[in-house]
Structure 1
């Protein structure tokens, strides 16, 4: 008889499914509502990105303990640690834009007489 799927595994599957739904909705939202969603997603304390970063960090700690016991390869622990650090750096990069997102998402959704002028896209890399 197969073992039942543990609750945390089901929870991870459900969260993954809901994240897919959120991405599908985001792609179809009007700009004002999409900005509200993005603002919540990138919030470092209560947002999806912060939650995923915390989850990967916790996974790294678990993998370290297991690697020290010989149950998991050290490379897995190192990869999870790097992923956690990268996610944290991404969150820091996005944090500088949080006020702009909040400001745009707080604006009432009124039809503007004159649409904003498009900004030229500039690629900046800081690493």
Structure 2
């Protein structure tokens, strides 16, 4: 039986598809996985940007509802923090966007020559 609110059904479907994408990403060849990741973190049209926008709108909605007394202020504050954190994460990832795009745009010419292992701990420079 379909959910009476089609928007709840849409949210459920998006969550299901994101789960599928994560499962498939784990088994994709590196070149294809990089293409998917580059799209996910795209600041204009990517999944992360969409989720960040959704959280921002949710926070604005919750603020109005909290002001009316329909929601506790803590809900609004939590949604606002989540929105801000997602925006910050997007900013952190944006500095790597060109690298991801470059790697995903290269034609896949078969197995690459193994490169030297990279250190797993990298100091951030800001």
Under TM normalisation by the shorter chain, which class is it?
Answer: over 0.9
- Structure 1 segments (4+ residues) deviating >2 Å: 111-114, 123-127
Give the Cα separation in 1 of the matches to 2:125 and 2:18: 28
Q: RMSD between aligned alpha carbons? A: 1.9
User: 2:85 maps to which residue?
Assistant: 86
Unmatched 5+ residue regions in structure 1?
none
Q: Secondary structure at the match of 1:43?
A: coil
C-alpha displacement of 1:44: 1.2
Output the CA distance in 2 between the equivalents of 1:4 and 1:25.
27
Could you say what secondary structure the match of 1:28 adopts? coil
Partner of residue 58, structure 1 = 57
Q: TM-score, normalised by structure 2?
A: 0.93
| Structure 1 residues 39-89: Cα deviation after superposition (integer angstroms, max 9, x where no partner) | 000111100000000000000000000000000000000000000000000
Query: Which stretches in structure 2 are left out of the alignment for 5+ residues?
Result: none
Distance 2:9 2:112 in 1: 49
Aligned length: 125
